[in-house]
Amino acid sequence: MPRPHRVLLVDDDALVRTGLRLILDSAADIEVVGEAGDGDEVVQAVQAHAPDVVLMDLRMTRMDGIAATAAARALPNPPHVIVLTTWDVDDAVLRSLAAGAAGFLLKSAPPMDIIRAVRDVMAGDAVLSPRSTRQVLDHLARDIGGAERRRATDAMSSLSERERDVAIAVGHGHSNVQIARQLYVSEATVKSHLSAAQTKLGARNRVDVAVLAERAGLLH
């Protein structure tokens, strides 16, 4: 039997942590291995528990989730980070994505969405709904200059046709499974094309790929 996905909960509200633990413990393939009550406890908690995924609150007292995300992602063999927020998209969410988060969840998300988010990020998918992806890209693409657009266009031109198709689908917020169905290929093939695209683009994650596709004008 495969090892369960190991999750660390980070939130300064004990009730929120308890609720998340109850939700995640109901999934046979997920194990909550630890908790942290503030951002400045994250590095030590990651080193102690070796989680695969961190569910990270954004607004905490001593160290916010953005700084804690950057610190966690700077560690050797870093965990994936999913940030938790009460707002759909704001500057803090965008900064957390820039710090290396794989995506974000609303704290009001249904229990199955939270469980699915852990599974998706372990499968290499960003945790962003199509609607949220559109909002993120609108924020990140706002007020870009012509030089940035040309750089994005040049970068996207380095991709093969299939890699470009995958990048565009990622930009529309589609998961690997959805992209595989759209392109009539296997999920493994999608992952291979996406990995190659990220390497060619110098992209850290799916969000970076989506941003470059948007800036190159491929999503309209």
CATH of the domain at 172: 1.10.10.10
Can you read off the two tokens belonging to residue 134?
């559109």
Q: Residue 73 carries which side chain, given as an amino acid letter?
A: R
Asked if 117 and 11 sit in the same domain, the reply is: yes
The residue written with tokens 């198709």 in the block is 165
Query: pLDDT digit string (tens) for 73-108?
Result: 999 999 999 988 876 656 777 788 778 888 888 888
Please give the helix or strand (H or E) that residue 136 lies within, else none.
Answer: helix 130-141
80, 146: one domain: no
Range of the domain at 114: 5-127
Give the end of a domain, one of 60, 94, 127.
127
Is 208 in the same domain as 145? yes
> 121 or 67: which carries more pLDDT confidence?
67
Hey, what are 80's tokens? Answer: 């994936």
Domain-terminating residue out of 93, 127, 161:
127
| DSSP secondary structure code for residue 127 in this structure | B
* Token pair 């499968």 in the structure block, residue: 123
Q: pLDDT (tens digit, 9 = 90+) per residue, 138-158?
A: 666 565 667 778 888 899 999
Task: Determine the residue type at 157.
Answer: S
| 173 in a structural domain | yes
Pair 93, 31 in one domain = yes
Count of domains observed in the chain? 2
Whole-angstrom CA distances from 41 to 11, 37, 85, 189 are 10, 7, 19, 39
Backbone phi and psi for residue 56, each to the nearest 5 degrees, phi listed first = -115, 120
- Say whether 131 sits in a helix, a strand or coil: helix
Q: Quick check: is 220 in a domain?
A: no
